[in-house]
Amino acid sequence: MTKIGDLVVRKSYGKDVTFRVEALERSQAIIKGTEFRLLADAPVSDLVPVTSDIPTGKAKQARIKAQQTLQRLHQDRHSLDAQNQAILGTDRSVSGTGIGAHSYFEVPGMVLHLDGDPLYLQKSLDLYEKLRVPAQGHYVHEKTMADALYRLLPSVRPDIVVITGHDGVLKNRINTDLYSLASYKNSRSFVEAVQIARQYERNFDSLTIVAGACQSHFEALLQAGANFASSPGRILIHALDPVYIAAKAAFTSVRDTIHITDVLSHTVSGIQGVGGIETRGSYRIGLPKFQELSQLNVVPSAT
């Protein structure tokens, strides 16, 4: 007997993706992907229970790629630190002043993450914290994201905006026109949110926008002003792909352009899942490193 919270796979799709049952209504179930940003309905008769969340098939491959991507981000951080030390160690303006190569502080890009799914939002925030990316997250229904951004952008003033949740090409249509926003579950809402963000900041290097979810209208999102978007091949994207791109932007120097082929090839979904345009990073370093104020021997001078 299928129950809410059960882990299941679909017989009709070759049991390739693991889902969790979110709701039941008579003979139909609402199911949510555990690895992919996919919200779907399915006949209960099509569902097969699984005993654990250990992925198989496509989901197993996705989890392995996700671990590799996370390792790559950590390697990039080490490379960035070495690059910073080399620059400061050879900079004549700081040499001989007591400012060592290790005495800088970091200002990574600030992320504002809007998500139409509370579970994926929490997973995303956990990953931002693990990667030490400053981030503020909000669970917002896809249809109200434009209004939410209009309110949040002036107060949060982020460097990077992530607009994601659930989407997909609508089924049971006689003629599915992939060029039309009407053929997608939430792409129109994502496009409206991107337009609001781009009206707030028109410079593509001052505000990096990452938008879309599974099977989203990639071309419409880019035309609305997104720097990175899903999904060129109208495929499912991994739940954390938008986070990986945002983290890459947050820790790419403002002196450098994000290497598109590098960042896209290391997302779980690959270049058919996410695409984008040339964009500068949001990461800065500063001098000198913050000191422990309680240890300073300061003589007061103000009256």
Render pLDDT for 128-155 as a digit per residue (tens, 0 to 9): 999 899 999 999 999 999 999 999 999 9
Main-chain dihedrals φ then ψ at residue 142, nearest 5 degrees: -55, -40
Main-chain dihedrals φ then ψ at residue 106, nearest 5 degrees: -105, 145
Domain count, the chain: 2
Residue 295 lies in a domain: no
Q: Which residue has the higher pLDDT, 137 or 173?
A: 137
Closest residue by Cα to residue 211 from 237, 239, 230 = 230
Considering the domain architecture, whether residues 80 and 36 belong to the same structural domain is answered as no
Residue 299 lies in a domain: no
Considering the domain architecture, whether residues 68 and 147 belong to the same structural domain is answered as yes
- Residue-level pLDDT at 53: 64
- Which residue range is the domain that position 111 belongs to? 59-286
- HSE-CB of 15 using CA atoms within 13 angstroms: 9
Query: What span, in angstroms and rounded, lies between the C-alpha atoms of 69 and 244?
Result: 8
Considering the domain architecture, whether residues 262 and 162 belong to the same structural domain is answered as yes
Q: Rounded mean pLDDT of 209-238?
A: 96
- Residue-level pLDDT at 187: 97
Query: What span, in angstroms and rounded, lies between the C-alpha atoms of 203 and 87?
Result: 28
- pTM listed for this prediction: 0.85
Neighbours of 256 (CB within 10 A): 12
Residue 113 lies in a domain: yes
Considering the domain architecture, whether residues 14 and 139 belong to the same structural domain is answered as no
What are 229's strand-pairing partners? 211, 275
Query: What span, in angstroms and rounded, lies between the C-alpha atoms of 239 and 139?
Result: 15
Considering the domain architecture, whether residues 34 and 73 belong to the same structural domain is answered as no
- Residue-level pLDDT at 161: 98
